[in-house]
Structure 1
Amino acid sequence: MFHLRDDEIAELLDLASVTEAVEGAFAAWGRGDADTTQRVRSSAGGGVASAMAAVVPPFSGGKVYSTASGAFTFVNILFDIEGRLLCTLDGDALTRYRTPAACAVAIRALAAPACTTAALIGAGRQGWYHLEMLASELPALSGVAIHDLRPEAAEAMVERARAAGISATVASSPTDAVRDADVIVTVTQSTAPLFAADAVSDRALICAVGATKYDRCEIGADVIERCASVVCDDVTGSRVECGDLIQAAHAGRFDWSRAIELSAVAAGIVDVPRAGTTPVLFETQGVALQDVAAAALAYQRSRRKTPKASDNNGDGT
């Protein structure tokens, strides 16, 4: 069986191309030309297993993974549209690319014009890849404020950013990080809101990544109430997984009728005003559509042996 390892996938993919593939896949979903399932989880005896699947023609596939002591072990599988098995893939490298790609799609559609400042809260495993995404998607970026509960992690990321030519500073608190930021990315496991509504600029697009379970919370109800629009990578999945919106709805401060599908935005079906006069919120927990789009790109490049070269067809494949 043909299998792509994480190190091979890392050589084959780049964030810009994965973003194009993921953006095309979301647009195809919005047009009804692609589809994705919600994540399902099972747990017993201290073990947790999760699965998700999608069809992004001419490919289909999905991801199965286990969670133990906070660590994930991923396996992805890719088929062609006729059901022929094409390959299996490790999942760490795919996840590193496909997760910030969703935020990149949101930035392209929802961020205020000419963003110059950003905030990154969370300097963990996913933090660096979101920082690279910010530097790529915001050409006028003049500085990123980085905060983490572990000051040494934020300091290490700032040093790494400066070495890569990204202007970055350590923020002493989430509030200090987000103040005056045009784009805010939160990638934490927080169970309590990270900052208050009055700390957020009217120009801010907030990309909330970490509230992937009902009991997590990065963005408080006061911030959600203030946002002009709330866009989700999957509204149906968010009703089960997005702790930020679940808790705000339970408190009577968010109505699910406000939630907008990113796929509809990407497809041009709905017009959502950019941040600028009022903040905008993007909530992402990750969908299988992203995994299949990224896996398909890695597979195509492995067969054609064209690493780091764009060869997706604009439909996420």
Structure 2
Amino acid sequence: METLLLNKEDVHENTPMPELIAAIEDAFEAYETGDAQMPAKSYIDLPQYNGDFRSMPAYLDAGDWDAAGIKWVNVHPDNPEKFDLPTVMGTMVYSDPENAYPLAIMDGTELTMKRTGAAAAVATDYLAVEDATSFGVVGAGVQSYTQLEAISTVRDIEEVVVSDLDDDAVDAFVDHFDDRFDVRGGSISDAGHCDVLSTVTPVESPVVSPDDVGDDTHINAMGADAEGKHELADDVLLDAKLVIDDHAQTTHSGEINVPYHEGVLDDDDIHGQIGELVTDKTDARTPEDGVSVFDSTGLAIQDVAAAHVVYEHANEHGNGYEFDLLGV
């Protein structure tokens, strides 16, 4: 048997967004119905290197298919300056759950960007107004691109506003999308008054206030992935229809982690988990809803679902590099 080695370009080319969104939705359903296993994300802290490693294993049974894998990812903020390397790098090992054979080893960084966008798209499909045509994004880094790519798959986005302190990043985002959308730079408030807003920043002091969002804006809070990170003002969270991806992760390191541990926000303020919307255990958007928020920390089941899509497409199209990893 052969193992497929898939680099960043291979992952990008073999991740059709509509299929990825469907697979991520399947993963949320499997997790909610108990057809998935996802041990808690584990951390190895390396303060001497100003970094850490995180391991994210999971298995899910989506009915027509099942899959298993583990993502090994780091966060080393000094990498760009010291080593000319990305701050975050990931490697995904995708295995056959029946016999544990490693079917593929693939770039986890591109995979993470794709599945993060797809998760926001699933939430947007359930929580945003049906006729949403405008999209705003706060933060013009690499995650912002897949947010627009995915969300424009589930809504007919025409107008896009991007806000960032880095003018060059804004210009790059506008240049990338100006042939597909009416896209421009703007303020946080400009972005927040769109029908759908995604926040993808690493801030620890909220940058989005209640005055910065529209009456019916749906917000995908994607930036918080560690304790202390916090993009949205507490009043935005408290006044919104609040949906999370996983209680343990969001209260530990998601958008709600700070107000939750300060006692400002509690479980009564959480409408439900995204899996409950997917399985119809709780309601999605209703005519009475105003602002809604999806707090996404990123789950290992998403990585496994995305890896399944990538592997199936790469295997079908003969992409990647086959090698005999185990010699069997």
TM-score scaled by length of structure 1: 0.89
| Residue matched to 1:51 | 55
Report the Cα offset of residue 279 of structure 1: 0.7
Aligned counterpart in structure 2 of residue 176 of structure 1, from 182, 190, 201: 190
Equivalent position SS for 1:13: coil
Q: Is the 8 A contact 1:111 1:275 kept in 2?
A: no
| Residue matched to 1:287 | 299
Q: One-letter code of the match for 2:298? A: G
Q: One-letter code of the match for 2:69? A: G
Q: One-letter code of the match for 2:181? A: I
Aligned counterpart in structure 2 of residue 246 of structure 1, from 251, 257, 273: 257
TM-score scaled by length of structure 2: 0.86
Report the Cα offset of residue 83 of structure 1: 3.9
Judge which range, 275-284 or 287-296, deviates more: 275-284
Q: Flag the structure with more relative contact order, 1 or 2, with Cα contacts below 8 A and sequence separation at least 6.
A: 1
Q: Is the 8 A contact 1:37 1:54 kept in 2?
A: yes
Q: Which runs of 5+ in 2 are unaligned?
A: 80-86, 320-328
C-alpha distance in structure 2 between counterparts of 1:91 and 1:204, whole Å? 31
> What are the within-5 Å matches in structure 2 for residues 1-317 of structure 1?
1-44=3-46, 45-46=48-49, 47-57=51-61, 58-68=66-76, 69=78, 71-85=87-101, 86-139=103-156, 141-163=157-179, 165-171=180-186, 173-179=187-193, 181-227=194-240, 229-242=241-254, 244-259=255-270, 260-274=272-286, 277-305=289-317
Q: Is the 8 A contact 2:222 2:297 kept in 1?
A: yes
Report the Cα offset of residue 236 of structure 1: 1.2
Report the Cα offset of residue 268 of structure 1: 1.8
Identity, % of aligned pairs?
Answer: 27
Q: Is the 8 A contact 1:208 1:281 kept in 2?
A: yes
Report the Cα offset of residue 158 of structure 1: 1.5
Work out the number of aligned pairs and report it.
301
RMSD of equivalent CA atoms: 1.8
Structure 1's 177 and 2: CA in aligned 2 closer, same or farther, altered over 3 A?
Answer: closer
Q: One-letter code of the match for 1:200? A: V
Report the Cα offset of residue 216 of structure 1: 1.2
Q: One-letter code of the match for 2:224? A: A
Report the Cα offset of residue 145 of structure 1: 1.2
Q: Tell me the alpha carbon deviations over residues 69-125 of structure 1, each in whole angstroms, 9 at most, x when there is no partner.
A: 261221111122224222221212211211100000001111112012221111111
